[in-house]
């Protein structure tokens, strides 16, 4: 098993001030199931708050996303006091949770801190999304004073009842462990159990800490934190051998078998083992849409995304015509199955889940870890590249969008052709729920290029907070976020936090006037939204503080402005360029302006947060969304079964 949790020598931020968000580097933490013993480091802080802060640093968390409230203020003081921990204040609890989600995707674990009930219930949606995506996330809530438990007192921030358990009951369904710390005697055990459970289960946990406890010394915190061990999960040896034997027999007699990677490769930490299997067997290699980024797309036998009728060209034909397919970590829901329309047969499939293997209509093997199974199977399979050779025979290279006429309104396919050219191993893509799913899915990721989106939960607005968290976790990468106008309106506020943190993200705001993905499932007037002055909004968020430059103009208008200023003796060209600060905002109507905007964002403003608003027609959608929307609509509108 991989025993790496994270660097215990994580770099310390330049400051522990709540608004200081910059890091010189990041502590590497593998998104894996840890199986090591964590050793505590000496610290003079003998309080509960100090212990929690040290534990977070030990597991690789150097940034905590928070919203203050009177029940968590003392706890926040102790988190700030930890030199290796950085507190990032967010505009609301939902975004703090989304940021912790994005951070966990890059670092392997994330954390957020909110206040009791009004904060806890606000962050619920983000925690539920992290649960659906199997992300270890530590959700910490500042709770009521310990003396108020068991009394008939009615507290503020509650629904007016003396029962304080409403928040806890809500979290019980979307976290794998809940700890209510309202005394110091078992606080150490509860906190350590919660954190270790999050890492072992790769799910969120809930920790409530009474507001009067963080600063009180206690003997359990008076020395180095007691070592706690995360026991490694092991495969049943006999079950593993039997599963590998059965799978090898099944696949070796197939004529044109294929491999398909699924989203649970992440939680099983089996991506490398999956690639090792692909290298050994020579099968054609595809991924499910929600696994994009989990498998290297530069692999010589990679054929694209398998998504039924909206798959990468020629991919579905190869997968669905195979006489055997191995799916590693799949999730077959109505979205990934395109309204339950996949042309797959159970008798042809081997389904490998994180700890279970099912072979066709035959046996199932439990207590078999995916990583162990894939590694062992790689040694037993005969090399067979028939399916890939078939793909290579029928493959026709991608076409290119028609050449746009001068000043022609920008088309979405032209936009993403230019985004494709921006990608490298030093970038990462965040795709918002909506048509960005389908357009970003067609991007070809270079080696080491990150990619994240939230498909299982599909919460619109997720990407703003997730972009904040992901960029904070890996400051060495430049994040490119593709966000629709409808989604952006849900969570726009935390662009403010990105600016405070000095992030260099490029946001493409795709303005097409509404909830396009909903339009293609079922249209109605409720899918049309009020248009905003998005570039003006970024200017308002900047508000003259820090380094930010915005303009609701085309690049040609910008040039005209310079000429006008120069004629009046207002500024020199050098002085004018100095006015272009760390945030670059742009509104794009045509390809020429897009080219200019990208050139600026990746050139003079490469160290800046760049906001590029792209204006497109409301009906300009990917062909994949049109097909997918029709099929999902058909699945949603099935009549009731006869009673």
Annotated binding site for Mg(2+): 485, 512, 514
Which residue positions form the known binding site?
485, 512, 514
Is 514 one of the catalytic residues? yes
How far is residue 163's CA from residue 18's CA, in Å, rounded to a whole number? 33
Reading the block at residue 506, the tokens are 């490029």
Q: If you compute the radius of gyration of the chain from its CA atoms, what whole number of angstroms results?
A: 26
Is residue 458 annotated as part of the catalytic site, yes or no? yes
User: How many Cα atoms within 13 Å fall on the side-chain side of residue 221?
Assistant: 27
| Main-chain phi, psi angles of 267, to 5 degrees | -65, -30
Q: Which of 86, 512, 624, 629 is catalytic?
A: 512
Active site residue 298: no
Q: Are 285 and 301 in contact (CB under 8 A)?
A: yes
> Cα-flanking dihedrals φ and ψ of residue 560, to 5°?
-65, -40
For residues 505 and 467, the answer to whether their CB atoms sit within 8 Å is yes
Catalytic annotation, pick one of 58, 63, 82, 93: 93
Query: Are 375 and 276 in contact, with CB atoms under 8 Å apart?
Result: yes
Half-sphere exposure of 617 (CA within 13 A, CB side): 10
Residues 241, 323, 518, 620: which is the catalytic one? 518
Q: CA-to-CA distance for 194 and 207, rounded, in angstroms?
A: 7
Q: What are phi and psi of 322, to 5 degrees?
A: -65, 155
Pairing of strands 110-115, 325-328: unpaired
355 is annotated as an active-site residue? no
Q: Which of these is catalytic: 514, 539, 593, 624?
A: 514
CA–CA dist 260, 287 (Å, integer):
5
Question: CA angle, corner 237, sides to 231 and 241, nearest 5?
Answer: 140
Strand ranges (DSSP E) for 124-273?
A: 137-143, 178-181, 205-210, 228-229, 258-261
Active site residue 524: no
Backbone torsions φ then ψ of 554, nearest 5 degrees: -85, 170
The catalytically annotated residue of 156, 299, 522, 617 is 156
- Return d(Cα 125, Cα 488) in angstroms, integer: 16
Chain centroid to CA 145: 35
Question: Measured between alpha carbons, how far is 547 from 38 in angstroms, rounded to an integer?
Answer: 41
Selecting among 157, 218, 392, 418, the annotated active-site residue is 157
- 435 annotated active-site: no
Question: Does residue 406 sit in helix, strand or coil?
Answer: coil
DSSP line for 531-587: ---HHHHHHHHHTTSSS-B--SS-HHHHHHHHHHHHHTT---HHHHHHT--SEEEEE
Catalytic residue among 432, 485, 591, 627: 485
From 14, 17, 39, 70, active-site residue: 70
Neighbours of 314 (CB within 10 A): 17
Q: Which of the residues 40, 239, 458, 502 is marked catalytic?
A: 458
CA 62 to chain centre: 18
Cross-strand pairs, 549: 584
By the 10 Å C-beta count (0-12 exposed, 13-18 middle, 19+ buried), 516 is classed as: buried
For this structure, is 418 an active site residue?
no
Residue 518 among the catalytic residues: yes
- Residue 188: active-site member: no
The residues annotated as belonging to the active site are 70, 93, 156-157, 458, 485, 512, 514, 518
């Amino acid at each position: 098993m991989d025993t790496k949790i994270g660097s215990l020598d994580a770099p310390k931020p330049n400051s522990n001030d709540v608004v200081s968000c910059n890091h010189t580097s990041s502590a590497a933490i593998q998104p894996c199931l840890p199986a090591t013993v964590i050793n505590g480091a000496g610290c003079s802080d003998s309080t509960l708050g100090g212990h929690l802060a040290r534990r977070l640093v030990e597991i690789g968390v150097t940034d905590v996303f928070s919203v203050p409230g009177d029940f968590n203020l003392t706890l926040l003081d102790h988190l700030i006091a930890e030199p290796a921990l950085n507190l990032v204040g967010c505009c609301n609890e939902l975004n703090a949770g989304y940021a912790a989600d994005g951070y966990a995707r890059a670092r392997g674990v994330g954390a957020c801190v909110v206040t009791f009930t009004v904060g806890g219930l606000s962050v619920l949606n983000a925690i539920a999304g992290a649960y659906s995506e199997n992300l270890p996330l530590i959700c910490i809530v500042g709770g009521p004073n310990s003396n108020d438990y068991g009394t008939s007192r009615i507290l503020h921030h509650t629904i007016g009842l003396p029962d304080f358990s409403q928040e806890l009951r809500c979290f019980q369904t979307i976290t794998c462990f809940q700890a209510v710390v309202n005394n110091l005697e078992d606080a150490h055990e509860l906190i350590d159990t919660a954190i270790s459970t999050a890492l072992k289960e790769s799910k969120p946990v809930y920790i409530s800490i009474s507001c009067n406890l963080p600063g009180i010394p206690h003997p359990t915190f008076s020395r180095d934190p007691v070592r706690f061990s995360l026991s490694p999960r092991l495969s049943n040896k006999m079950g593993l051998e039997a599963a590998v034997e059965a799978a090898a027999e099944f696949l070796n007699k197939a004529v044109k078998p294929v491999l398909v990677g699924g989203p649970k490769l992440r939680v099983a930490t089996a991506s490398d083992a999956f690639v090792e299997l692909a290298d050994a067997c020579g099968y054609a290699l595809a991924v499910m849409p929600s696994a994009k980024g989990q498998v290297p797309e530069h692999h010589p036998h990679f054929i694209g995304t398998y998504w039924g009728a909206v798959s990468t060209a020629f991919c579905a034909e190869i997968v669905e015509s195979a006489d055997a397919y191995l799916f590693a970590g799949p999730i077959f829901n109505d979205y990934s199955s395109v309204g339950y329309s996949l042309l797959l047969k159970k008798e042809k499939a081997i389904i490998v889940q994180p700890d279970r293997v099912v072979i066709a209509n035959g046996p199932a093997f439990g207590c078999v870890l995916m990583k162990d199974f894939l590694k062992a199977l790689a040694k037993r399979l005969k090399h067979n590249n028939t399916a890939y050779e078939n793909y290579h025979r029928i493959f026709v290279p991608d076409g290119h969008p028609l050449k746009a006429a001068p000043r022609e309104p920008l088309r979405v396919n032209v936009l993403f052709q230019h985004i494709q050219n921006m990608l490298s191993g030093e970038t990462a893509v965040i795709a918002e729920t909506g048509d960005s799913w389908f357009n970003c899915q067609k991007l070809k990721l270079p080696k080491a290029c990150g990619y994240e989106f939230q498909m299982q939960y599909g919460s619109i607005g997720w990407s703003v907070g997730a972009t904040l968290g992901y960029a904070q976790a890996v400051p060495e990468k430049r994040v490119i976020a593709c966000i629709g106008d409808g989604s952006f309106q849900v969570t726009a506020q935390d662009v403010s936090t990105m600016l405070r943190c000095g992030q260099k993200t490029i946001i493409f705001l795709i303005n097409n006037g509404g909830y396009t993905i909903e339009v293609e499932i079922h249209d109605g007037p409720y899918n049309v939204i009020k248009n905003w002055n998005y570039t003006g909004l970024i200017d308002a968020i900047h508000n003259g503080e820090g380094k930010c430059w915005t303009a609701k103009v085309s690049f040609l208008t910008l040039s005209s402005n310079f000429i006008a200023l120069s004629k009046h003796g207002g500024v020199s060209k050098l002085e004018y360029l100095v006015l272009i600060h760390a945030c670059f905002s742009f509104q794009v109507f045509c390809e020429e302006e897009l080219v200019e905007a990208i050139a600026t964002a990746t050139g003079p403003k490469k160290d800046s947060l760049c906001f590029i608003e792209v204006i497109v027609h409301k009906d300009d959608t990917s062909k994949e969304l049109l097909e997918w929307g029709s099929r999902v609509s058909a699945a949603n509108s099935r009549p009731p079964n006869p009673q």
